[in-house]
Amino acid sequence: MTVIVRFAPSPTGLLHVGNLRVALANALFARRQGGRFLLRLDDTDRERSKPEFAEGIFQDLRWAGLEWADMVRQSDRLDRYEAAAARLRAAGLLYPCFETEAELAAKREAARRRHAAPIYDRAMLRLTAEQRAAAEANGKVPYWRFKLSGGIREWDDLVLGRRQVKTSAISDPVLIRADGSFLYTFTSVVDDLEMGISHIIRGEDHITNTGVQLDIMAGLGGGDAIRLAHLPLLTEADGGKLSKRLDALSLRSLARDGVMPVALCGYLARLGTSDDPAALGLEALAEGFAFSRFSASAARFDMRQLLALNRKVLHETAFAEVAARLPEGADEAFWLAIRGNLDLLSEARHWWDVTRGEIAPADLPDDGEFLRVAERLLPEAPWDTGTFKAWSGALKAETGRSGRALFHPLRLALTGEEQGPEMAALLPLIGHERARRRLRAAQA
């Protein structure tokens, strides 16, 4: 069997870390199995789907290094959904409904008062042809529900093990709205069957959906060979729901902050598995990818772990790889001086300001005399990485200071920071005149 998988985002917003984790699982599994990874835009929601979000999906996936063998848009396949709907109607599995939202809400409230589950009562399934004609004559337009089997849908999940959904405990799903637009529950099934999807890999939040969609697949005469894998959902490091802050974890915002794609992919690809996160390329990640490595428990997304991996990546990144994202004018000497102190690439801007811009003057009145001596002994240009050692050595000899008493006030006066890159590398970047001005300002 040829492995064919799909990542099917809706272009209604920005991709976030949960989306990328699912996309990676699909792409890595396909690569490991020598299969095909497809991209499908689930864009039948006409109101919320936007071209700019679709373009954002393409850009974000490519930023992460993912490529797809083929791409389809559901909005281009409306005729296929019409044909599938006609087959379900002919089989008596798709029936028209005329209740208003207010009427449905009243039914749900009545069920709650009876302490019953708010499941749709299938009243419209009992509608006669005459009653339907009368409703339509009065201007009512139906929406369409799928008649669930009422049985139990079971499958051996590649991640979670044996799973089942009782369709008798679920309302018959609406597949077609009154305006004629199709819902994801239906279109996804039609596409998965017609595109020959061999494995559906998605989040655990789709478990109930899966039970419903297996029923729809059976109604369309297929789906028996499709394998299913549901990844446990992500939580925050403390176990809380990550969904509350997913917008802040969009790929766009993480990239803007300076998270490197190899770090993010390396972290997400192994999150929830028995393997430690590693900043590896997609080929290496695919070699070790297996559903058996995933835990059935929720995976904890810990920003501290991601930043630790990102820090490691930055510390080993060559100038050429980041040059286009550094402040204008930054050279290799600047990058090599600061990269060992970065958690995020965006922090390079701060060190550019420290070395080439202006900082708030340090206030070191207790070290005024020492800084005056430091200014007097400041070597003449040109400077190199040996200048700081020679200068601090001369200061030690004249003032008797050593250790923190010697180096701390110099760092504060010259950078405004308690810690940072090696002063031997920073001093030549700061330059003679800027260093003199800062030493003088800190004496006040």
Q: What is the pLDDT of residues 236-271, one digit of tens each?
A: 887 777 765 556 689 999 999 999 999 999 999 999
Residue 277, Cβ density class (10 Å: 0-12 exposed, 13-18 middle, ≥19 buried)? buried
In angstroms, the CA 5 to CA 1 distance is: 12
Q: Among positive and negative, which fits the CA dihedral 331, 334, 340, 345?
A: negative
In a 13 Å sphere around the CA of 253, the CA atoms on its Cβ side amount to 11
Domains in the chain: boundaries = 4-79+157-162+184-234, 235-318, 333-442
Tokens of residue 249, six digits: 């974890």
Does residue 301 sit in helix, strand or coil? strand
In angstroms, the CA 444 to CA 438 distance is: 11
Q: Is the pLDDT of residue 183 over 90?
A: yes
Start-to-end CA span in the chain (Å): 77
Q: What is the pLDDT of residue 248?
A: 67
Q: What is the pLDDT of residue 45?
A: 87
**Residues linked to residue 145 through DSSP beta bridges, in sequence order:** 95, 174
CATH of 4-79+157-162+184-234, one of 3.40.630.30, 3.40.50.740, 3.10.20.30, 3.40.50.620: 3.40.50.620
Fold agreement (4-79+157-162+184-234, 235-318): no
Q: What is the spatial order of strands in the sheet that 174-176 belongs to?
A: 94-97, 143-146, 174-176
Contact 65, 282 (CB under 8 A): yes
In angstroms, the CA 58 to CA 66 distance is: 9
201 Cβ contact partners less than 8 Å away, ≥ 6 residues apart? 5, 22, 25, 26, 29, 229, 231
Q: What is the pLDDT of residue 239?
A: 76
293-306: average pLDDT:
94
Task: Estimate the share of the chain in helix, then strand, then coil, as percent rounded to the nearest 5.
Answer: 55, 15, 35
% of the chain with per-residue pLDDT over 90: 89
pTM: 0.90
Q: What is the pLDDT of residue 47?
A: 86
Top-level CATH class of 333-442?
Answer: mainly alpha
pLDDT tens-place string over residues 185-198: 999 999 999 999 99
Residue 173's identity, in one-letter code, is P
pLDDT tens-place string over residues 390-410: 999 999 999 999 999 999 999
CATH architecture, domain defined by 235-318: Orthogonal Bundle (1.10)
